[in-house]
Every structure is written in structure tokens, then in C-alpha cells.
Chains A and B, each alone.
Chain A
Amino acid sequence: MRARPLSPHLSVYRFTHTMALSILHRIAGLYMAVGLLLLVAWLMAAAQGEDSYELFVARWSGGWIRLLLMGWLAAFVYHFMNGIRHLFWDAGIALERVPSRRSAWLVITATVIVLALSGYLLFCPQAGAP
């Protein structure tokens, strides 16, 4: 098989905010793929019966799982909003420099707010634990 022509890769571009958002989209997606593993394990534990569910809850509780959950929530909000940006771009909407920069800031701001809010709710003693 002859070598196929490749599109220009990362190294030919100057690093800009669009690249940062793009790579963050992939990182958030990968992190959520790991979360999917946990979600299915959770459903499986519920399907196995009460004993295995209790075991699952006992294993997956504590401060560090709250930290992971915070990460999943932030990753979801980011990937969700940035994904919607992509869907609009597919339709040719808000693709220009100014609106795309504005929507980039909107996505980043929303993610930071959710991260801060979930951090407060998950680690503040009187708020409900998951």
C-alpha cells in the first residue's frame, strides 16, 4: 500500500487558545470514558443485589472519590458545552473569530463556576454527600 497523504499535524501550527480548548475537549472526553467504566460498574453492582451494592458504595466513597466526581462533573460541563459549540460550527454558525472566542470564554467560565460550586457542595460538611 502506498503511503497516504496526511493532513498537517500539531507541530506546524502556532499554539493558540483554540488549540488549548480542542485538546481539553479530548482530555475531558477520555476522562469521561473512564467515568463510563465506573457508571457501568455501579449499574452492575445494583444488578447483583444488595450485598454487592453495599460493597460498591463502601469502596467508592470518601474524600478522593468526591475529588474524582468533581472532575467528572467539570469534564462533563466542559465537553457538553464545547460539543454544542462544535455542533453549531457544523451548521456554519458562530464560526468566525470573534463569536468563537466569545463562546470559548463562555465555556471556560461555566466550567470554572461548576467546578467551584461542586467543590463547595461536595466538601462543605452540611451539604449532602453522594
Chain B
Amino acid sequence: MSLRAPLARVLGYGSTQDGVRHWRAQRLTAYALVPLTVWLLLALIRVPLSDYAAVTAWIASGWNPVLLGLAVLAMSWHSQLGVQVVIEDYVHGATAKGTLLLLSKFGHVLLAAGGSYAVLRVAMRGF
């Protein structure tokens, strides 16, 4: 048991690199996802998913492509932040942890880019 004050123990270790940025981004994306995911869920229930024409018509109509694109981006970002914390907490060993964090980041960027591209491609059909 150390007699040093908690503050004195952490001072002098330098920056933690991240500060509150991760926490704030997680909250920001959570707020955005509250309306976006409810909208997406209701749409997915209503649209007949096995009907190609109906699905693409829904994706392309009105504000749907914009909201769908934003939903995919926010979900990818929020997911990356969450998976990152899980890896940081439960994977031990610098190599395994670093590799998994890198793979998760690349994977989530791929999802964000792929989802945006796919939505745009369906929405732009016929232009």
C-alpha cells in the first residue's frame, strides 16, 4: 500500500495520447445512431427484402440514400470505437493487440467505404 496520493502517482507519466477524444466520439456517434438505427430498422421491416426492384427503388428514393449512407458511416465509426475497447481490454501482448487493432481499423474503414459506395451506386443508377 503506497502512501502517495493518486494524483501524484499518475503525474509525470506523460500524455495518454488519446484524452477524452475516444469517449466523446463514442457518445457523438451514439446520439446520431439513436434516430438513424430506428429509421433503418423500421425501413428494413417494411421493404420486401427478397424483391430486388423494390429494394433498389427504396434505397434510391428521396432522402433514403443520404440517411442510409450516414447510418453506415456512423455504425462503422461507432463499431470501430467499441471493438477497439474490447481488443484493448481483453487481448494481451503487444503484438497480438496491435495487429488486431490495425485489422479492426482497416476492416471498419473498408465497411464504411464499401457501404457508401454501394448506396451511391444504387442511388446514381440511371443518371
Asked whether A83 and B30 contact (CB < 8 A) given A43-B119, A53-B55, A76-B37, the answer is yes
Q: Which residue of B lies closest to A130 (CB)?
A: B49
Q: When the two chains form the complex, which single residue of B50, B86, B115, B121 contacts A26, counting CB atoms closer than 8 Å?
A: B86
Classify the interface of chain B: helix, strand, loop or mixed. Answer: helix
B residues lining the A interface (CB < 8 Å) = 9-10, 13, 16, 27, 30-31, 34, 37, 41, 49-50, 52, 55-56, 59, 68, 72, 75-76, 79, 82-83, 86, 111, 114-115, 117-119, 121-122
Q: When the two chains form the complex, which single residue of B30, B55, B79, B82 contacts A46, counting CB atoms closer than 8 Å?
A: B55
Question: Which B residues lie within 8 Å of A29 (CB)?
Answer: 79, 82-83, 86
> Once bound together, how far apart are the Cα atoms of A75 and B31, in whole Å?
18
> Once bound together, how far apart are the Cα atoms of A4 and B18, in whole Å?
14
CB of A117 within 8 Å of the partner chain: no
> Once bound together, how far apart are the Cα atoms of A126 and B56, in whole Å?
26
Q: When the two chains form the complex, which single residue of A2, A39, A61 contacts B13, counting CB atoms closer than 8 Å?
A: A2
> Once bound together, how far apart are the Cα atoms of A129 and B51, in whole Å?
12
Question: Which A residues lie within 8 Å of B16 (CB)?
Answer: 4
> Once bound together, how far apart are the Cα atoms of A32 and B82, in whole Å?
11
What 0/1 pattern do residues 48 to 69 of A give for CB contact below 8 A with B? 0010011001000100000000
> Once bound together, how far apart are the Cα atoms of A39 and B55, in whole Å?
13
> Once bound together, how far apart are the Cα atoms of A41 and B52, in whole Å?
14
> Once bound together, how far apart are the Cα atoms of A64 and B49, in whole Å?
17
Q: Which residue of B lies closest to A87 (CB)?
A: B30
Q: Let me know if A44 and B118 touch, CB within 8 A.
A: yes
